[in-house]
Structure 1
């Protein structure tokens, strides 16, 4: 089969690596790809926001399937345009992608169908948002209603911080916000593979959103993750599937917006059970870099089963080993940062057993590998448990020579501590 993969980040590198293992794959094409993806695919210089160009590329290359990695082209309707052209696509329609594209849409759906989530108010003005903040009190969560690359959320410890978040959101014309009550608990990520009606559990992970050790500093797109997440027990995962994910999939189908693709449920594990923090309509990043290396089933077969509505009775198989990834980012991220610094030592890191270095923001200049983004590399290692995976990952990180980069040194600390106590 000929597969076109859309995207250029660490998630797409992980998707490419998983697809490349399929016996059914004859050619893998990536648009636009990156130097890591180029090890598995033929890269084409078509941007992820060039919807017409991507459809044309899929048609010209006679792609049997298009796999869409990032959220923005899904929200923009890429899956719809591909379907209209008669091309199979793994990824939700624009209508279904509103689960990520509009936090207000998702909150309203949860309210209609009694899906556990935080109390909220949908605010269309600064005054409404400030009133909602006053009603909830601090701490309080303020979210921009739209795509924000994982950085549009403020967990405000006091009212002044919440008001500042409102000012920043409504500085943009036409902005809207969702103000939510603060939920106590531990966060975890649960993934489901969905074919429109059937939703299968597809791994879980725990991410580290804050930029600095000890969960300090601003939110990021993710500074590291590990899978599986011990905090999300099999019983809690099934409870979340039964009370959150499956009712969502059923509601979307009944409303005429059947969801096909990866549904990523960000969960808060509260004293009252799992509650939905938010949905993403694609695999997570850096979660893909820890879930997919554990997959033992044929990835392409699973994606085709989802697209064709054949997931009922399918059971994806995963290794019982733990995967842990450490994100290397450019100094200054998630604020201003420079591009173009040289990275050395990636080959030495990957030479270690069970280690993969996923490229998230890199480019080539001849033989040199250069940083070309905020989050640049995701160094993933496997281990018998989280403690071993953590040791293996940081040993690989320490082989990478990149003075202009930095990473958190405590990724996986919760799970590693639990593993050492066991």
Structure 2
């Protein structure tokens, strides 16, 4: 049976090079299917039907997750989804300039976000609202970015959650540099029993970013320097309007082999699997074993952003099929079947999520506009005479429109 694995690494022999250079039609089809179907290598601890799957490798990394812990993971995902839906609605009402939905990716973000230790560092792209929530960032502090009133107001050092990066893939280089710094400063590979203070970094990007040069440069540098960096790719199947198979003939996690470090594919709709795999990867990095690539195989249930219309490029039956793999529903079913939660718990979580959304909405509707001079803040770390002159010129220009009451 032909497979993408055989295509990537053909058997040694006289015709090996020709086989690799000219894959058969069967091999091409197998490779394309492997980019859009879970495949045999998919790591899964909780099925879409809510059934627990044993894993000798990864079970030890979720041994501490009892019913109470699973209820908290469920609560996280419900609240984050509710906040996401509220922000999406507020954009439609003109309260936000744009919104980047995370609908369907809650398990990938909460599972990986909760896997981090306090001193680990996260570098997001622009969709990781759930990771920010898991790191203790107030969801309200995310809204200013999308209202175009600030660049993010959370304490980056306190939460160990870097500012959002809009340029596709650029955060991978930033994360790689930070992780190299952790290695150079001796924060990797220490004996935990002797009071070792190990750290790691995790960097988030989408499947579309894997076509960007910055991502591959990050792979190279992290591999060469054994940087403690987890590359966390949320493969939601669509790089805006382009499907994954238009970008790669092989599953994305297999690209790690070309750079010399491990790659794995986890069910991105399985919060338990994402938690376990990310814990394993971060632990591997902290021990000084170099980088790891995780491909969280998930699906973007909404538009790329609120400026996008996904009905123009994908079929509704694809969306319906992925609804059956909903990350929240499978945890709910598991808890219900195993007596881990009752109807009162689920009702309480729904009410808490509604209250969270109401507070978010009230904050957004009453968010003050920043003063015009705000645009000149934080341009440089030190005062700049050029920026100061531009600031004074701009404010003087605005004063020319002042009304009798002194307002601009």
- Scaled by the length of structure 1, the TM-score of the pair is 0.25
Which protein is richer in helix relative to its size? Answer: 2
Which protein is richer in strand relative to its size? Answer: 1
Task: Select the structure of larger CA radius of gyration.
Answer: 2
